[in-house]
Structure 1
Amino acid sequence: MQKAINCCLPLVLLLFFGSCFRSNTETNTLGTGNTRQVFNFKGIEDLYRFLTYSENRVPLISAHRGGPDIDYPENAIETFQRVASKMPAIIECDIALTKDSVLVLMHDETLDRTTTGGGKVSRYTLAELKELHLKDPAGTVTNYRIPTLEETLRWGIGQVIFTLDVKRNVPYQLVVDAIRKTKSEAYVVIITYSANQAAVVHNLAPDLMISASIKNIEDLIRLNDMDIPDTRLVAFIGTSQADKNLTDLLHQHGILCILGTIGNLDRQAQERGEQVYAEYIENGADILSTDRPFQAAKTLDYYGKQRGLSSPFVN
């Protein structure tokens, strides 16, 4: 019997350590390349197909500012990774410009609220910003640093889809250049707030996907008049309950609808129960931009399983 145990022991240890090594490869270590594939896009054409409406489309979560939480700051790669490890996610993040013309992730014009620094982002070089630490939503200082857009895009390939909110005075051309340099076209949507902005982005990079503000039929007509094809659009339809006539029209054009639940609609879900997130989808939304990504994702996961929704582009 002892001999049998002695013979089995090396095998048990091998299996144990082998499982440890496997689990380590399933969790990405920042900066060492992607090891956890979430989205299976061979190229940008797959992104077009994935972001085109069909009755079998998989409802998605967009984590507002990346899904900040206790110990996890907004606009930090570590925060994005936490979200991506739990769900197929869209990560909404914000782009600012340093004194030495480097694109970094930062929502505010100033550093005071979210970092250990102070004053305007534009007055600091990248090297100076890298000395600072990010704060979580409660103001607690973390070990995390301000990432550049390039670092973020390289990390995100295969793991998330980004919607990039380009802040005032940041040239769209620099953003497009960063996307080209990192070859992340298949994982990026650029946010715009007017038909004119959408036209500027489309003229610079006609292959890239655009999030456009579409709150009525006239907004869609303006975008079409500027020769922006429906296949390059996802529609941000606002932060109040969706207008079914509008979402039906957009769906007829193959355009997915992003509903901003940030604020009032998130509060409704918190007060009435998480099933409210499924009601938003039933009423015409396809993507929920939320400050409560984990709660909303749990509801949408159940919603999708009950209806047998899946996609060949999602692991």
Structure 2
Amino acid sequence: MAQKVEKATYSFQKHFQWVKNELQQPNSTKVLVVAHRGDWRNAPENSVQALKNCIEMGVDLMEIDLKMTKDSILVLMHDNTINRTMEGNGPISDYTLAELQSMTLKGGNGCPTKHKIPTFKEIMLVAKGKICINIDKCYPFYHEVYKILKETNTLDQVIINSEKTYQDNQIKYGKFLDSIPFKPVVSLDNLSHKDINDYISIHPKVMELVFSKDSSFYLHHSEIFRKAGIKIFMNAMWSSLSADHTDDQAVELNDPTNSWQWLIKHGATIIQTDRPKQLLQYLRQHHLHI
């Protein structure tokens, strides 16, 4: 039994090191898989169990969302209220951590479970050395996020989102941005060429492209990002993020050519998905993953 545990642990570590290396390789043809809010079809979104499922499945990164409790603790939650994902109602900022953990999370089907809301620190300790984390909904909390990452020694296994312009980030956080693994989320529909080029000029390791139309100049010239040493992150969850090149197109309509394959053809080497198991299978079949 001990030998089996040791072998499994080694496998997780080997995969984890491969992912960290891939995040530094803008010219790699391999594609990393990001599980949106975790394995939420089989566990509550943004839960410890969703994270554990992702680790067991071989997912490369899990995307999480952060909110602050009344007593200033960072917890995992997408919405501003707990109405959709927990037993209670109201803004999450109205509750202390203890009050929140006296309730339970709901599953993807909206039914109560026995799972509790996790703190950000708890999640990072579970993820440590096993899986990388993409942190979303955290712009107001960069300082608090950084403090916990330093405390848990996990700064090297996260990507931190910002949907603000480079100028906004510089005004609010300045040189602090050099200390965190910063990923700009760029709307190809709304941001100007100057805004996009400002981000390209600082050479972030990863840039997320969001688009509701697939006619953008940048989608057809993805070499611009690659030459700047930037990996392209795209989403397959819903139409407004990827111009209908979605998971449902691949899975429900059995048409990955116009979904995942299209994203890859247009430069994506990181794909965020609500179908991590199926996407991993597809990538492995096409020798685009380990």
Question: Could you tell me the TM-score, scaled by structure 2's length?
Answer: 0.83
**Secondary structure in 2 matching 1:267:** helix
Distance 1:301 1:238 in 2: 25
1:248 maps to 2:223: yes
Q: Which amino acid aligns with 1:61?
A: V
Q: Is the 8 A contact 2:134 2:159 kept in 1?
A: yes
Equivalence for 1:176: 146
Which structure 2 residues correspond to residues 14-163 of structure 1 after superposition, within 5 A?
20-24=1-5, 36-37=12-13, 38-40=15-17, 47=20, 50-54=23-27, 56-70=28-42, 72-163=43-134
1:252-294 Cα shifts (integer Å, max 9, x gaps) = 1110111111113222213143454233212211111111111
Distance 1:291 1:197 in 2: 30
Which structure 2 residues correspond to residues 229-240 of structure 1 after superposition, within 5 A?
229-230=202-203, 232-240=204-212
1:291 maps to 2:270: no
Q: Is the 8 A contact 1:202 1:208 kept in 2?
A: no
Q: Which amino acid aligns with 2:151?
A: K
Distance 2:173 2:34 in 1: 21
Q: Is the 8 A contact 1:98 1:122 kept in 2?
A: yes
Q: Is the 8 A contact 1:62 1:293 kept in 2?
A: yes
- CA apart distance, 1:206: 1.1
Q: Is the 8 A contact 1:99 1:121 kept in 2?
A: yes
Distance 1:171 1:279 in 2: 35
1:43-80 Cα shifts (integer Å, max 9, x gaps) = xxx947633301x342011111123104x110012111
- CA apart distance, 1:296: 1.2
Equivalence for 1:221: 197
Q: Is the 8 A contact 1:259 1:287 kept in 2?
A: yes
Shift of the 282–221 alpha-carbon distance from structure 1 to 2, 3 Å rule, reads closer
**Secondary structure in 1 matching 2:175:** helix
Q: Which amino acid aligns with 1:268?
A: Q
Q: Is the 8 A contact 1:278 1:303 kept in 2?
A: no
- CA apart distance, 1:148: 0.4
Shift of the 86–182 alpha-carbon distance from structure 1 to 2, 3 Å rule, reads same
Q: Is the 8 A contact 2:69 2:97 kept in 1?
A: yes
Distance 1:212 1:156 in 2: 23
Q: Is the 8 A contact 1:176 1:205 kept in 2?
A: no
Q: Which amino acid aligns with 1:295?
A: Q
Distance 2:60 2:67 in 1: 22
Report the number of matched residues. Answer: 272
**Secondary structure in 2 matching 1:257:** strand
Distance 1:284 1:58 in 2: 11
Match of 2:247 among 256, 259, 266: 266
- CA apart distance, 1:213: 2.2
Runs of 5+ unmatched residues, structure 1: 1-19, 29-33, 311-315
Q: Is the 8 A contact 2:61 2:132 kept in 1?
A: yes
Distance 2:118 2:83 in 1: 17
1:300 maps to 2:283: yes
**Structural RMSD (CA):** 2.6
Amino-acid identity (%): 25
**Secondary structure in 2 matching 1:138:** coil
**Secondary structure in 2 matching 1:237:** strand
Return the index of the structure with the highest Cα Rg.
Answer: 1
**Secondary structure in 2 matching 1:171:** helix
Shift of the 198–294 alpha-carbon distance from structure 1 to 2, 3 Å rule, reads farther
- CA apart distance, 1:130: 1.2
**Secondary structure in 2 matching 1:91:** strand
Q: Is the 8 A contact 1:77 1:147 kept in 2?
A: yes
- CA apart distance, 1:164: 0.7
